[in-house]
Amino acid sequence: MFRIGKGASTLNGLQAIQDRILSEAQETASQIASQAEAGSEEILAAARKDCEQQLAAARISAAAQAESVLNRASSAAALLARKNILQARQDMVDRVLHRAIELLCQMPDREKISFYRQLLEQTRAESGEIVLAAADQRLAAELIAENPGRFTVAAEVGAFTGGLVLRRGLIEDNLTFERLAATSRSELVQIAAAALVEAPGQNPAVS
């Protein structure tokens, strides 16, 4: 659970979120790496078996034909293993981001209100209209109570899970949990790459 006290700065709060997201990634990396490696080994084992069967049948043909069969089967196995590792990385990043957003949404109301106020302070806005998610509508009155008249809460319900959007005329600040979590994506990709580096196959980049 996140602990963001009243005295914490906005930057410290955001850093706490990022640290928690990356911690979640490291905790799940080894598990997903093992799953990816096991999946790759199954693919390679199946390919080897198929290769042996084809080679047995190919013995009635020329040796060159048998070698061609082996090369094709090996190439197919390597491609499947590569795709398996790529998908494992992508799955890890997506799962960790999803988990991080869940943890943010589970913050107690008092902590969540304090954090939302810090987000508003970060924008340096003197006024504006706040859009909240459906789950946070109950927090609206208390959120703006400290600064009556500065901010209003839109009747519109935001299409996001948590955090907020602040509108100031043509300016819109996206401070949703989805956006905050996504800022850690590049670091999560690096963690995924490190976790799966020992898995069979090559290590294609994930964007």
Highest mean pLDDT among 1-15, 26-40, 136-150: 136-150
Percent above pLDDT 90 for the chain: 26
Which phi and psi angles does 124 have, rounded to 5°? Answer: 60, 25
Question: Which run of H or E residues covers position 15?
Answer: helix 10-58
Per-residue confidence (pLDDT) for residue 206, from 0 to 100 = 43
Query: Which tokens is 160 given?
Result: 């996001």
What average pLDDT does the structure give for the chain? 73
Could you give the CA distance from residue 25 to residue 183 in angstroms, rounded to a whole number? 14
Task: Give the pLDDT band of residue 152 (cuts 50, 70, 90).
Answer: very high
Could you give the CA distance from residue 28 to residue 31 in angstroms, rounded to a whole number? 5
143 has pLDDT over 80: yes
Task: Give the pLDDT band of residue 172 (cuts 50, 70, 90).
Answer: very high
Per-residue confidence (pLDDT) for residue 88, from 0 to 100 = 74
Query: Which tokens is 190 given?
Result: 């690096």
109 has pLDDT over 50: yes
Mean pLDDT (whole number) for 72-80: 69
Tell me the domains of the chain and their CATH numbers: 10-106+184-195 (no CATH), 109-181 (3.30.2320.30)
Could you give the CA distance from residue 165 to residue 76 in angstroms, rounded to a whole number? 48
205 has pLDDT over 70: no
Task: Give the pLDDT band of residue 2 (cuts 50, 70, 90).
Answer: very low
Could you give the CA distance from residue 116 to residue 110 in angstroms, rounded to a whole number? 10
Q: Is 156 exposed, middle or buried (0-12, 13-18, 19+ CB in 10 A)?
A: exposed
Could you give the CA distance from residue 11 to residue 114 in angstroms, rounded to a whole number? 13
184 has pLDDT over 80: no
Per-residue confidence (pLDDT) for residue 17, from 0 to 100 = 63
Residue-wise pLDDT for 30-54, tens only, equals 666 666 666 556 665 666 666 566 6
Query: Which tokens is 104 given?
Result: 């943010």
Could you give the CA distance from residue 176 to residue 132 in angstroms, rounded to a whole number? 9
9 has pLDDT over 70: no
Helix (H, G, I), strand (E, B) or coil at 38: helix
Residue-wise pLDDT for 13-36, tens only, equals 556 666 666 666 666 666 666 666
